[in-house]
Structure 1
Amino acid sequence: MLITNVRPWGGDAVDLEVRQGRIVAVHPAGTAVVAADAAGGTVDGRGRIAVPAFTDVHVHLDSTRIGLPFREHTASPGVWNMMCNDRENWRDTPIPYRDVVAGTLERMIARGTTRVRSYAQIDVDCKLERFEAVMAAKEHFAHAADVEVMAFPQAGLLLEDGTIPLLEEALRSGATTIGGIDPCQLDRDPVRHLDIVFGLAEKYGVDVDIHLHEPGHLGVFSAELIFERTRALGMEGRVSLSHAYDLANVHPDVTARLMEQMAELDIAWATVAPASGGTQFDLARMTEAGIRVGLGEDGQRDYWSPYGNCDMLDRTWQLAFTHRLRKDRLIEHCAAIATIGGASIMDRTVQRLTSPDDRPGLAPGDRADIVLVDGETIASSVMDRGTDRTVIHNGRLVADKLAVLPNPAA
């Protein structure tokens, strides 16, 4: 394939030559010639900006109402109340639930996301039904996106009998990450909660991702227990903290100490760019410290929240906005987090960001996962969030004009 007349990271126009799923050469615009037998042909970039395709490292594909009529938000505040509201309503859809899940993933791919780490709620109410729906969507769109599925105990591990065997069944059935959630606030037994999570990770050889909504020093306490287990089990590079927004809202010395431990243990951070009235993690400092940072959309217009539209470019805008960033280089850094930053969490062979000015992912040798977007600069693309997009996954054209193309192997 040749991708002609594109501007990598908003730079000068070039032609990208792709073979066997990887970029093999970067030519001055208009100078490359596609081989007569090239299966991918030529993609006309029309002067658009090329960035690595988006990576959503924190999405609940199983918790979605994308494609369904808009509804009034009915949940009361708090994780348990939100979960109960979801539990009461998620089956009530006018089209089959599996189609809703698959349609959400399709919409994400159409807008430029080709790497996805999805939670799949597992509890005594839904058992494996939601997990199996996410796995079915993953299989259906395997030609267009890489999807990792996490076995996630949204209702906790200890509050309802029977959750742990269901998690084990999911891990035996293809889940590649085990989740945990608020060890102190929800299960109220952080030692047992984390012993179970890390025990399952060790038993099945999977990664760990902990939802941490806990405030202030309670969150710090849980984080330090997570760090202890990561170090003791030699799981450096295989643990992520999701949310954990209040770890930046304690004394600056405490936050600095936590960041040092995250860097030492290679613990990644996944944010969904929430609104916050307090202090936020400094994205540039996190990257400079060597911490892998990724972005996700969380739920998609679900029973927890009416927000979410499957568009990671939109969420990139939100990341810049909630962190009060105005300089172009820092807005571009948000785009790097939304693309290669998350990719380095899902795949540790992907080059991690080394500074807020680092713009990797489009050089010879890099995998050809690319989204073409309209805009004058990266910052303008983030601000305007245009819809003239073309999506390439593993060197194949998979979406154009906000529509996923048919699977040629189907």
Structure 2
Amino acid sequence: MLISNARPWGGAPSDILIEGAKITSIAAHDPQRIPEPTDVDGRGRILIPSFSDVHVHLDSTRIGLPFREHTGRPGVWGMMSNDRENWRDAEIPLPERVAGTLERMIARGTTRVRSFAQVDVDSKLEKYEAVVAAKEKFSNEAEVQIIIFPQAGILREPCTEKYLEDALKAGADAMGGIDPCALDRDPVRHLDTVFGLAEKYQVDIDVHLHEPGALAVFSTELIAERTRALGMQGRVNLSHAYELGSINEATSRRLIETFAELDISLTSVAPSTSSHLPLVDLVAAGVRFGLGEDGQRDYWSPYGNCDLLDRTWQLAFVNGFRKDELIEHALAVATMGGASIMDREVPRLASVADRPGLAAGDRAELVLVDGETISSTVMDRGTDRTVIHDGRVVADGLKVLSVETAY
């Protein structure tokens, strides 16, 4: 397949040859070339790597359903309880909601997905199985990894650990954790369980960290200690962690150095806070960093629309990025930054000027999108998109080609 007249990372018009699932060559656009039936007309659009949503909760979605009054209560336990009280009463069954949300994400250019699936004494494996079903339905359109997630903690309710292990036996890709100090109030037991199950089933770890300042730093240090002791470098991710930059510059620098040494990655949903570790400093140190949308118009929040280009704008905005290079970097984070977390063989971003993913030999995970420049694409969030997964067009015009439904 040839993508004709496209502009890789907003550069010069080019013709991009794809063989199998790989980009094999990129050459200056030849306007005299007679197109083949399998060619894709880039029409001068910008070509970028496809999006990698590496922090999404597909299992709690209300995408495609009417807006409802927000009834959540403050705090993780209050919000989680609100979800428990309502998720079974939605207008359509959970498997349809999850599949519809994943479909909408693919249609907008996301072909790499790392989704949490809540496992606890309330939902048992029901939410996990709904995410598995969606993953299987769209196995030809996207790569999906599933993290089992003890949203209600591990220690507060009997039998939680049993259900978590059942999900790992069923094939979950990663083990989740949450606020070891603030929620379970026993960080040693909580993290011993998380790391113990991950080691037993040889899966990665992803810990939600909403804890404030010094408490978040303490939990992070315990996580780093276990990562080093168990030889799990490159297999641990911290989600949110938006208070780690709130102590002082020396603590921030020490944490960033630790993350780089142990290849502990970070994922963000671009929250409205100034207490997070500086994104520019993280990439300069070689820390993997990815972006996600978190919930999708669910019982936690009305935000989220399945479009990671929207969230890229938000990442640039909350970081105060105005220079073109930094706005482009936000897009690199949303595409190849997340890809390097899902597959540690993918190189981490080398600098804020690094624009990977579109060279000969790279995997053909691509999106064509309208725009004058990368910055204008992020600002305008155009909708003229063509999505390519493993060298095949899987979506066009905000519609996944394998299904009739368009959102």
TM-score (norm 2): 0.97
SS of equivalent residue, structure 2 residue 290: strand
Q: Deviations over 1:343-387 (max 9, x none)?
A: 000011112210000001000000000001111110100000010
Q: In 1, Cα distance between the equivalents of 2:348 and 2:141? A: 23
SS of equivalent residue, structure 1 residue 221: helix
For 2:203, which of 197, 203, 206 is the aligned residue? 206
Match of 2:298 in 1: 302
For 1:188, which of 175, 185, 193 is the aligned residue? 185
| 2:53–2:293 contact (8 Å) kept in structure 1 | yes
Q: Deviations over 1:52-83 (max 9, x none)?
A: 00000000000110001100111111000000
What are the within-5 Å matches in structure 2 for residues 56-95 of structure 1? 56-95=53-92
For 1:163, which of 135, 160, 165 is the aligned residue? 160
Q: Deviations over 1:223-266 (max 9, x none)?
A: 00000000000000000000001001111110110111000000
**1:280 deviation in Å?**
3.2
Match of 1:5 in 2: 5
**1:172 deviation in Å?**
1.1
SS of equivalent residue, structure 1 residue 247: coil
| 1:248–1:280 contact (8 Å) kept in structure 2 | yes
SS of equivalent residue, structure 2 residue 25: strand
| 2:296–2:303 contact (8 Å) kept in structure 1 | yes
**AA of the residue aligned to 1:149:** I
Q: Deviations over 1:23-43 (max 9, x none)?
A: 00002112696897xxx8111
Q: In 1, Cα distance between the equivalents of 2:171 and 2:20? A: 27
SS of equivalent residue, structure 2 residue 56: strand
Q: What count of residue pairs does the alignment treat as equivalent?
A: 404
Match of 1:391 in 2: 387
RMSD between superposed Cα atoms in Å: 1.4
Structure 2: which 5+ residue stretches go unaligned?
none
Q: Deviations over 1:73-100 (max 9, x none)?
A: 1111100000000000011112121100
Match of 2:371 in 1: 375
**1:284 deviation in Å?**
1.5
**AA of the residue aligned to 2:355:** R
Match of 2:337 in 1: 341
For the pair 1:108 / 2:105, whether they are aligned, the reply is: yes
| 1:49–1:372 contact (8 Å) kept in structure 2 | yes
SS of equivalent residue, structure 1 residue 7: strand
Q: Deviations over 1:253-289 (max 9, x none)?
A: 101101110000000000000011x333221211110
For the pair 1:350 / 2:353, whether they are aligned, the reply is: no
**1:406 deviation in Å?**
1.2
SS of equivalent residue, structure 2 residue 237: strand
Q: In 1, Cα distance between the equivalents of 2:34 and 2:253? A: 51
Match of 2:24 in 1: 24
Match of 1:128 in 2: 125
**1:336 deviation in Å?**
0.1
Q: Deviations over 1:149-170 (max 9, x none)?
A: 0111000000000111111111
Moved over 3 A (4+): 31-36
Q: In 2, Cα distance between the equivalents of 1:6 and 1:42? A: 12
TM-score (norm 1): 0.97
SS of equivalent residue, structure 1 residue 372: strand
Q: In 2, Cα distance between the equivalents of 1:292 and 1:389? A: 27
Q: In 2, Cα distance between the equivalents of 1:163 and 1:95? A: 27
What are the within-5 Å matches in structure 2 for residues 207-356 of structure 1? 207-276=204-273, 278-356=274-352
Q: Quickly say closer, same or farther: Cα 1:34–1:140, change in 2 above 3 A.
A: farther
| 1:15–1:32 contact (8 Å) kept in structure 2 | no
**AA of the residue aligned to 1:62:** D
SS of equivalent residue, structure 1 residue 50: strand
SS of equivalent residue, structure 1 residue 65: coil
